[in-house]
Amino acid sequence: MAERVLSHKRLSSIKQFLYGSPYYPEHWDADVRSQDAQRMKAAGWNCVRMAEFAWDRMEVEEGRFDFSLFDETIQSLGKVGIKTILCTPTATPPVWLTRAHPEILRVDERGVRMAHGSRQHACTTGPLYGENSRRITSAMAEHFAGNPDVIGWQTDNEFNCQFSECHCESCQDGFREFLAEKYNGDLDALNQAWGTAFWSQTYRSFEEIETPRPNLPTHPNPGQKLDYARFLSWAVTRFQAEQIAILRQANPDWFITHNGIFRHIDYRGQFSRDLDVLGYDVYPFFTHDPAERVLNQCFNLDYVRSLSGNFIIPEQQSGPGGQGPYFHDNPEPGEMRRMVYTSISRGADSVLFFRWRTARFGAEEYWCGVLDHDNVPRRRLHEAAQLGVELGRVGPEILGTYVQITAGIAAGDFDANEAHDTLPFDLPAPRLTAQSVWRALFRRGYPVGCVHPADDLSDLKVYFLPHWEVVDPAWLPNLQTFVDRGGLLVIGARSATRGLENAVTAETLPGVLRGLTGMTVEEYGHQNHPESRPLAIDFAGNRVQSEYWYEVLQPEGDTGVLARWQGRYLSGQPAATLRHVGRGVVVYVGTYLTSQVMAGLWPLLQPLCGLQPLLPHIPLGMEVTLRTDGKKKLWFLINSTGQVISVPVPSGTDLVNQRSISGSLILPNNGVAVIKN
Ligand SMILES: [Zn+2]
């Protein structure tokens, strides 16, 4: 198979827009199940996902398999045209396995072993669990290989959602194996990379190395911590790859996905290259404030698209989620439909609602689905059915298109985020600071998204690299080309301060970015208690407060000063620099790109890049996106403002409401239009 190139513009290989839900026949008796296929068909379903937690039903004891429930269910759904995505059930090993082999259970940093009775209690690193994973995966793959109604697979379920930092014996062995491979068995290289000369940590053999555990008694080595995070990703990628190899061998026509996005997995690495398409579970109601909820959903979708391009949504929130201490708001009429369009507008190529019917028992018995506990059809089902009819028109049009953006933000890759977490210093993480920049542009109606610095930057007029402490020198030619061709590159404080092994660079800051920015950082400081010792930056008469961090900058050569500090001992010193490079410009800002700083900075940047909103005069809070295949244009207009609004729009056909549009459009709250032209 050809190596997959991950890009924010990568199309998915999904051939039919899939619409439906996860479905749990193991939770319901035959009488309740008997009406499901017809009801799903009436709601427009063409796909369900099944079996991710049903290992105990399918392998009732070691090596004795019973797939009859799923055979019967797949067949009854298939008869009405509903296809099935099956899952490997390895997030929930059965009790016969955990009792016989408690060594497969994960161990936390205090040495406490996990227990049977919830989920994600088994460690994916160990050989014994790997053997059991391969056995159930092989049995399922062989059994369903010839079933025409099974179209694809999801590996496991939400790897690392509940638990990722394991310290079991298998992880000790696995960590050493990973390190020996990474450092080619060269212990001196490891000691050098981690800086084990500090605190007498020098290792004499790989066998002496253990996983880093926090607060026993104090902070572990940052180099060791970053390599441990890389090991966790490597281990789960290997576990998944074994399942994928079995599935591909059984039936190469199946597509394979996984539902993220969680900690300690490099989704812009081998993990996603092994998949046909990445999945992302969308639960906006974890954000309580409705206005923030919209912003967070949009940003998170843009972030996920930056990892490997268009994606599918194996779980999209339909009702309130309730578990443990929380119970979400109930979506208001029109809200679940509108949230689906938001997902599609920002890169989703298929959507399944979590879930068909709310379970009456178990830890998620209040994680509500399209149908309530009593199986009575109510407005969530009616709304899903309306959407099913609309997506019959919209779905086929969006496949083969990508989301067009002209403003990009580096939102943090695996190394940037993990390195930050090893020494956070009470500073915002890369993904959080990227969201501040993203919001400043989104609110102004600009077509903004997230893009990795190694990715295709050719469509962008402006690109922000906010505060990545780890910057790979291999990305520099791509950034240089972007600027040479006329792009505006904006780099934030603390960039490129550490090397790939998480040790501080020996170069004068900003390290490998010094040549491109044409300046140096002469001095820096953390802004503790900024309310009592405020610092401001003067952006051409527009004075804004800085937060978190300050740097005193020294321009080199022909680099100019864009803004200066005001306050404390910094008054008059350069706070931001500007350098013309090729046909473009590089700006460096010596503080965090917060919303206040963006308010002062953007009026100076906009004329430098000429960025324009996707459509003029769009009200604040209105979502406007464009998906295109280079010829056809699909304009998404989504009203989450809480008001009825009138907006100027391009002329064309509204696929949602089946009408011709010319010039302007009135949209109610939660109203949606998808205009094709
Ligand atoms: Zn483990």
Distance 480 CA to ligand 1 centre (A): 42
What's 650's domain CATH number?
2.60.40.1180
> Are residues 505 and 641 located together in one domain of the fold?
no
Residue 315 annotated to the active site:
yes
Query: What is the per-residue pLDDT across 184-237, written as a single tens digit (0 to 9) for each?
Result: 999 999 999 999 999 999 999 999 999 999 999 999 999 999 999 999 999 999
Distance 176 CA to ligand 1 centre (A): 13
pTM for the whole thing? Answer: 0.97
**Cβ atoms of residues 277 and 12 within 8 Å:** yes
Q: Ion ligand 1 — residues with CB under 5 Å?
A: 123, 125, 166, 168, 170-171
Q: CA torsion sign, 149 to 337 to 257 to 447?
A: positive
Domain hosting 656: range is 622-676
Q: Out of 52, 59, 165, 315, which one is annotated catalytic?
A: 315
What's 456's domain CATH number?
3.40.50.880
Q: At 288, is the pLDDT very low, low, confident or very high (cuts 50, 70, 90)?
A: very high
The whole-number average pLDDT for the span 358-385 is: 97
The whole-number average pLDDT for the span 9-26 is: 97
Query: What is the per-residue pLDDT across 607-626, written as a single tens digit (0 to 9) for each?
Result: 999 999 999 888 887 999 99
| Residues ≥6 apart with Cβ < 8 Å to 184 | none
148 vs 668: CA distance, rounded Å: 42
Peptide linkage before 355 cis (omega within 30 of 0): yes
Task: State how far the alpha carbon of 143 is from the alpha carbons of 245, 456, 529, 606, in Å.
Answer: 16, 42, 63, 59
Percent of all residues in the chain with a pLDDT value above 90, rounded to a whole number: 97
Cα end-to-end distance, the chain, whole Å: 36
What average pLDDT is seen over the chain?
97
What does the pLDDT read at residue 20? 98
Query: What is the per-residue pLDDT across 141-191, written as a single tens digit (0 to 9) for each?
Result: 999 999 999 999 999 999 999 999 999 999 999 999 999 999 999 999 999
What does the pLDDT read at residue 4? 76
Residue in the block written with tokens 């542009």: 441
580, β-bridge pairs: 585
Query: What is the per-residue pLDDT across 96-129, written as a single tens digit (0 to 9) for each?
Result: 999 999 999 999 999 999 999 999 999 999 999 9
667 vs 673: CA distance, rounded Å: 8
Question: What are the structure tokens assigned to 654, written together?
Answer: 């509204």
What does the pLDDT read at residue 87? 98
Q: Out of 52, 59, 158, 165, which one is annotated catalytic?
A: 158
Distance 257 CA to ligand 1 centre (A): 24
Distance 436 CA to ligand 1 centre (A): 36
Q: In the chain, how many domains are there? A: 2
* Among candidate residues 609, 632, 653, the one where a domain is terminated: 609
> Are residues 415 and 547 located together in one domain of the fold?
yes
Peptide linkage before 261 cis (omega within 30 of 0): yes
> Are residues 600 and 628 located together in one domain of the fold?
no
> Are residues 527 and 644 located together in one domain of the fold?
no
> Are residues 482 and 535 located together in one domain of the fold?
yes
- Identify whether 46 is part of a domain: no
Percent of all residues in the chain with a pLDDT value above 70, rounded to a whole number: 100
What does the pLDDT read at residue 3? 58
* Among candidate residues 583, 609, 635, the one where a domain is terminated: 609
Q: Is 376 helix (H, G, I), strand (E, B) or coil?
A: coil
Strands 348-354 and 19-22: parallel
> Are residues 493 and 549 located together in one domain of the fold?
yes
* Among candidate residues 556, 581, 609, the one where a domain is terminated: 609
- Identify whether 657 is part of a domain: yes
Distance 74 CA to ligand 1 centre (A): 35
Distance 482 CA to ligand 1 centre (A): 43
Higher pLDDT among residues 663 and 238, named by residue? 238
> Are residues 513 and 567 located together in one domain of the fold?
yes
- Identify whether 86 is part of a domain: no
Distance 167 CA to ligand 1 centre (A): 5
Distance 611 CA to ligand 1 centre (A): 48
Distance 232 CA to ligand 1 centre (A): 9
376 vs 318: CA distance, rounded Å: 16
What does the pLDDT read at residue 2? 46
